[in-house]
Structure 1
Amino acid sequence: MFELLLIMLERLGLIVMLAFIATRMRFFRDMLSPSELTRKQEYTAILFFGAFGIVGTYSGITFQAEPFLLQRLTTDVYNTEAIANFRVIGVVLAGLFGGYRVGAAAGVIAGGHRMMLGGFTGFACGIATIAAGIFAAWFRSRNPGVISKPLHVFAIGAAAEMMQMGLIVLLARPFTEALALVQHIALPMILANGIGCALFLLIIQSVAKEKEKAAAMQAQKVLRIAEQTLVHLKSGLTPQSATNVCSILYKELNLKGTEVKSADLTLSRIGENSDFLVTESLNSRDKVIGTVNFYFHSQITSLEKETLTGLANLLSSQLELGEADKLYKFAKDAEINALQAQINPHFLFNTLNTVISLVRINPEKARTALRALSKFIRQNLQSTTVSTNTLADEIEHIKSYLSIEQIRFEDRINVSYHIDDSCLHSKLPALTLQPIVENAVKHGFSEKISQCRLHITVEDSNDNVFLYIEDNGSGINEERLKTLASNIEESTDGNGIALYNINKRLEMTFGSDYGLQFKSQPDSGMSVYFKIPKVL
């Protein structure tokens, strides 16, 4: 028995090597990607795991039970002989990953082949192989998370082999030889096949981790490209901006060639053509305004194709932001609209990074963040076409922004509202409240670990509406408080001029009595308040 176990563990190395080679093949990786297999993938899985079961049979050891004689190479199987093998591994994995149809069909292929080889256990082993595929599929249907637990898969493989030993005793004849056979081979085969199933699963998990790592690297590359192209696409889709974007894409994606087109006109082109072409459209306000052609050195994967689609969407968003800048510049009041055009792209990138990190650990929260981001960007874009917004629109805008920040801060920000509904029709310069709230979150709560509270109040006061944004953040000293909003504060992230811009727009729209007011002390939070005329 010990000798048989050593031989089987030695042969198991061959099975593991074949499994590793299989996971390097593209069809195998694609087969493991979706939650449900397509019909074509089912056929591929049946053939693959069925063939793997046959290989497991041929890599086994032929022997006689009485007297106990081992033959290291499987050739013909006589009526007095049986095979200690690894057939169960492929069939069990087929049932676990493919379900009943794949498990049963792979079992029929591998089990039918075993029956044709002959031997006094041929029929029993063939039936047991089919049953193993069905048993594994049944266990997966009852325990969906089993494919991520190697010890459980070891137990399933061992149980399938135990079932085969039982069927040999029940169905193989003569009974005395069948019983003697099971006594010799049961423990080695149970251990070897259980270990083989667990090792195969570990190899498959390594493939999944590689795909996750590749996806994370692709996401980082997309964000890096987007950050580099933002400054160029803010001016719109022009020959100069297209040249700069092509240069960035050519370098970062290691392309053979790339070109940017507007309608039928080629704006820029770098490198050479190839047979491996991917074309993505550039959109602005639901209209196709151009295309990007990516020429690769060789065939790309489906993950890389999805990455290009996401990259094209980001480039389209940047073009929309650029279009928003143009709308500001052509507005009637040039100074107010130039100040209104302050948009912080880092907020978009930070939010996308948050979504990327949540996709695997909390998909529902990631979807919530994306919905809030979509609403926030849509409100931002709508605000670029008008000089004023209603107070109701501004409140909705900051609610979208704060819902994103609450997710990013892992719900450490507590927001409360006290809104007088009679004031919601009053108007104020577009994008007034959101930068103030953003300033409170970014600077007031930057060093605060917990209990971050933000209170927003809108009060009716005769002919005016008073607005208060109060936080319990770090606050500022009295010296800086005196100059706040009256001078442009230096800041590396572009947020230093936000309060200055808002204050100037309020004063230019309503008069010098309607500017921003502040109350604050270090470590005691900050209150920003101002008034606007009430609309009756």
Structure 2
Amino acid sequence: MYELMLIMLERLGLIVMLAFIATRLRFFRDMISSAALSRKQQYKAIIFFGAFGIIGTYSGVTFQAEPFLLQRLKTDIFNHEAIANFRVIGVVLGGLFGGYKVGTAAGLIAGGHRMLLGGFTAFPCGIATIAAGISAAWIRTKNPEITAKPLLVFLIGAGAEMLQMALIVLLARPYTEALVLVQHIALPMILANGIGCALFLLIIKSVAKEEEKAAALQSQKVLRIAEQTLMHLKSGLTPQSADKVCTILYQELNLKGATIDDAENQLSHIGSSSNAAVIESLKSRDTVIGTLRFYFYSQKDVTSIEKETLSGLANLLSSQLELAEADKLYNLAKDAEINILQAQINPHFLFNTLNTVISLIRINPEKARTALRSLSKFIRQNLHSTTASLKTLENEVEHIKAYLSIEQIRFEDRIAVSYHIDDSCLHNKLPALTLQPIIENAVKHGFKGKIDQCKLSITVRDHKDNISLCIKDNGSGVRENRLVNLAADVSSSTEGNGIALYNINKRLQMTFGSDSGLHFKSRPDDGMAVYFNIPKIS
């Protein structure tokens, strides 16, 4: 028994070597990584595991119980001889990885071959082999995760050999020779085949981990390339961006050469061309807008994993180009929205100003002429504001002075205006028509019905990182529960001033970000302060 055990463990090295060679084959890798085998894969798996079972038979040794004799396996087996072998390894693994069809068919191939070899154990060994394939497949259906547990696979392989020993005792004749045979070969074969199944599985798992590691490295490389190319493709597919991307691809992928074309011309090329090339399309909204050509040093470098990586990389670059196009469209839409909001304000200004001039013409022609001069200046400033998205703070101050000169005439000089403006801020830019609507709200709504002196304070301070602006009045103020949503929505005001503050707040946030939105501080009958911060932009 011990001599047979040593021989079986020695022969097991051959089985392990064959298993390792098998894992280098592409069809085998595809098979073990597939959740469900296709019909073509099933046929390949049947042939592979059936042939592996036959090799397991021939890698064994012939055994004669009385007199005790071990020898190399021959092509013909005498009636008094049996085989100590590794046949069930291939059949069991076929059932575990391929299911009923593969396990049963591989068992029929390996088991049928064993019956043809002859010997007094041929029939029970053949039946046991078929049963091993079916049993392994049944266990897989009950426990789909079995192939990830080497210990359980060891027990399945050992159990298949136990079944074979039992069938030999039950079916082989003469009974006494069968019993003696089992006493000598049972333990070595049970241990060797169990160990063989577990080792085969461990080799398969190492291959799977190797592929996972390779895929992870490829993914990491693709993401690194995508991170580097993102800043260049923001401007779209241009000769300049193509040069940068080509250089990155050439260096990161260790290529012989790389080329980027648009729909008509070659935009960039680096390195040299070769016959070993992979070509991928660059798309935007399902339309081909360019081509990537990857040149390798030899055809053997163009593996299936490399092709999948390059295909994924092309998809990422296409997505970046789509994002660049979407970003351009967003900026255009943002500019259009700012222009629309600005256009909504202009009629509001003119309507109130013309009403003031009309009333002055009737009661005081001299003041009306003064108001018209101010109106002329106001309209000129207003027209300039509608042709530019950003204006200097100096222009905005001139604009509000023209407006307030008209309003002071309308209020019969009851409006006192104080300016506290740092000269260093006058060249800073902000959205056109920002201050005037805020001041108009203060005059129109804050001072409405006020009998006492109306005071308006305009403060602009230069800070280290930004500029703060505050417009404060001593008008009627706003209830505290309305302050939170005052500029958040057009419908936030029931007095008509909601759209002006909403438009200003929207334009400030679209231009400078959410931190530059309007803030309010007020109490009923105690005035109101509107304040906000803007970054320094000359």
Where does residue 233 of structure 2 map in the other structure?
Answer: 233
Give the Cα–Cα distance (whole angstroms) in 2 for the partners of residues 2 and 183 of structure 1: 12
Where does residue 20 of structure 2 map in the other structure?
Answer: 20
| Residue deviations 1:153-198 (CA, integer Å, cap 9, x gap) | 0000000011111111122111111111111111110000000000
Checking the alignment, whether the CA contact within 8 Å between 1:53 and 1:86 is kept in structure 2 is yes
| Residue deviations 1:267-311 (CA, integer Å, cap 9, x gap) | 222344444443322222443321212233325444333322221
SS in 1 for 2:189: helix
Where does residue 315 of structure 1 map in the other structure?
Answer: 317
Deviates more, 1:20-29 or 1:8-17: 20-29
Give the Cα–Cα distance (whole angstroms) in 1 for the partners of residues 135 and 264 of structure 2: 59
Where does residue 198 of structure 1 map in the other structure?
Answer: 198
How has the CA–CA distance of structure 1 residues 65 and 332 changed in structure 2, closer, same or farther, with 3 Å as cutoff?
Answer: closer
Where does residue 532 of structure 2 map in the other structure?
Answer: 515
**For 1:9-408, what aligned pairs fall within 5 Å after superposition?**
9-296=9-296, 297-299=298-300, 300-327=302-329, 333=335
Deviates more, 1:47-56 or 1:90-99: 47-56
Checking the alignment, whether the CA contact within 8 Å between 2:50 and 2:90 is kept in structure 1 is yes
| Residue deviations 1:482-516 (CA, integer Å, cap 9, x gap) | xxxxxxxxxxxxxxx99964344769xxxx93637
Deviation at 1:335, TM superposition (A): 13
Deviation at 1:31, TM superposition (A): 1.5
SS in 1 for 2:299: coil
Deviation at 1:336, TM superposition (A): 7.6
Give the Cα–Cα distance (whole angstroms) in 1 for the partners of residues 126 and 264 of structure 2: 64
Give the Cα–Cα distance (whole angstroms) in 1 for the partners of residues 32 and 3 of structure 2: 37
Checking the alignment, whether the CA contact within 8 Å between 1:246 and 1:268 is kept in structure 2 is yes
Give the Cα–Cα distance (whole angstroms) in 2 for the partners of residues 462 and 277 of structure 1: 62
How has the CA–CA distance of structure 1 residues 326 and 64 changed in structure 2, closer, same or farther, with 3 Å as cutoff?
Answer: same
Deviates more, 1:104-113 or 1:320-329: 320-329
How has the CA–CA distance of structure 1 residues 462 and 157 changed in structure 2, closer, same or farther, with 3 Å as cutoff?
Answer: closer
How has the CA–CA distance of structure 1 residues 264 and 175 changed in structure 2, closer, same or farther, with 3 Å as cutoff?
Answer: farther
Give the Cα–Cα distance (whole angstroms) in 2 for the partners of residues 303 and 87 of structure 1: 34
Give the Cα–Cα distance (whole angstroms) in 1 for the partners of residues 327 and 485 of structure 2: 34
Give the Cα–Cα distance (whole angstroms) in 2 for the partners of residues 257 and 127 of structure 1: 60
Give the Cα–Cα distance (whole angstroms) in 2 for the partners of residues 466 and 203 of structure 1: 64
Deviation at 1:332, TM superposition (A): 7.5
Give the Cα–Cα distance (whole angstroms) in 1 for the partners of residues 147 and 22 of structure 2: 18
How has the CA–CA distance of structure 1 residues 463 and 330 changed in structure 2, closer, same or farther, with 3 Å as cutoff?
Answer: closer
Give the Cα–Cα distance (whole angstroms) in 2 for the partners of residues 19 and 47 of structure 1: 15
The gaps in structure 1 that reach 5 residues or longer are 338-386, 388-458, 468-496, 518-536
Give the Cα–Cα distance (whole angstroms) in 2 for the partners of residues 109 and 251 of structure 1: 52
SS in 2 for 1:195: helix
Deviation at 1:58, TM superposition (A): 0.7
Checking the alignment, whether the CA contact within 8 Å between 1:229 and 1:245 is kept in structure 2 is yes
Checking the alignment, whether the CA contact within 8 Å between 1:328 and 1:334 is kept in structure 2 is no
Opposite residue 107 of structure 2, the aligned amino acid is G
Deviation at 1:319, TM superposition (A): 1.4
Checking the alignment, whether the CA contact within 8 Å between 1:79 and 1:120 is kept in structure 2 is yes
Where does residue 2 of structure 1 map in the other structure?
Answer: 2
Report the TM-score when normalising by structure 1: 0.63
Root-mean-square deviation (CA, aligned residues, Å) is 2.9
Checking the alignment, whether the CA contact within 8 Å between 1:60 and 1:86 is kept in structure 2 is yes
**For 1:469-484, what aligned pairs fall within 5 Å after superposition?**
none
Deviation at 1:233, TM superposition (A): 1.0
Checking the alignment, whether the CA contact within 8 Å between 2:95 and 2:102 is kept in structure 1 is yes
Deviation at 1:334, TM superposition (A): 9.8
Give the Cα–Cα distance (whole angstroms) in 1 for the partners of residues 201 and 4 of structure 2: 24
Deviation at 1:135, TM superposition (A): 0.6
Checking the alignment, whether the CA contact within 8 Å between 2:57 and 2:87 is kept in structure 1 is yes
Deviates more, 1:15-24 or 1:70-79: 70-79
1:464 aligns with 2:476: no
Give the Cα–Cα distance (whole angstroms) in 2 for the partners of residues 264 and 466 of structure 1: 49
SS in 2 for 1:63: strand
SS in 1 for 2:166: helix
| Residue deviations 1:183-222 (CA, integer Å, cap 9, x gap) | 1111110000000000000000000101111111011101
SS in 1 for 2:530: helix
The gaps in structure 2 that reach 5 residues or longer are 340-388, 390-480, 490-508, 520-528
Give the Cα–Cα distance (whole angstroms) in 1 for the partners of residues 57 and 31 of structure 2: 24
Give the Cα–Cα distance (whole angstroms) in 1 for the partners of residues 533 and 90 of structure 2: 72
Deviation at 1:327, TM superposition (A): 3.6
Deviation at 1:48, TM superposition (A): 1.0
SS in 2 for 1:236: coil
Deviation at 1:125, TM superposition (A): 1.0
Opposite residue 314 of structure 1, the aligned amino acid is L
Checking the alignment, whether the CA contact within 8 Å between 1:284 and 1:320 is kept in structure 2 is yes
Give the Cα–Cα distance (whole angstroms) in 1 for the partners of residues 484 and 183 of structure 2: 96
Deviation at 1:75, TM superposition (A): 4.1
SS in 1 for 2:278: strand
How has the CA–CA distance of structure 1 residues 52 and 506 changed in structure 2, closer, same or farther, with 3 Å as cutoff?
Answer: farther
Deviates more, 1:259-268 or 1:190-199: 259-268
Give the Cα–Cα distance (whole angstroms) in 1 for the partners of residues 61 and 334 of structure 2: 88
How has the CA–CA distance of structure 1 residues 463 and 146 changed in structure 2, closer, same or farther, with 3 Å as cutoff?
Answer: closer
Give the Cα–Cα distance (whole angstroms) in 2 for the partners of residues 307 and 498 of structure 1: 39
Give the Cα–Cα distance (whole angstroms) in 2 for the partners of residues 516 and 97 of structure 1: 67
Instruction: From the CA coordinates, give the structure whose radius of gyration is larger.
Output: 2
Give the Cα–Cα distance (whole angstroms) in 2 for the partners of residues 179 and 84 of structure 1: 15
Deviation at 1:38, TM superposition (A): 1.0
Deviation at 1:262, TM superposition (A): 1.3
Give the Cα–Cα distance (whole angstroms) in 1 for the partners of residues 484 and 3 of structure 2: 97
1:502 aligns with 2:514: yes
Give the Cα–Cα distance (whole angstroms) in 2 for the partners of residues 245 and 82 of structure 1: 68
How has the CA–CA distance of structure 1 residues 326 and 171 changed in structure 2, closer, same or farther, with 3 Å as cutoff?
Answer: same
Give the Cα–Cα distance (whole angstroms) in 2 for the partners of residues 254 and 30 of structure 1: 27
How has the CA–CA distance of structure 1 residues 156 and 462 changed in structure 2, closer, same or farther, with 3 Å as cutoff?
Answer: closer
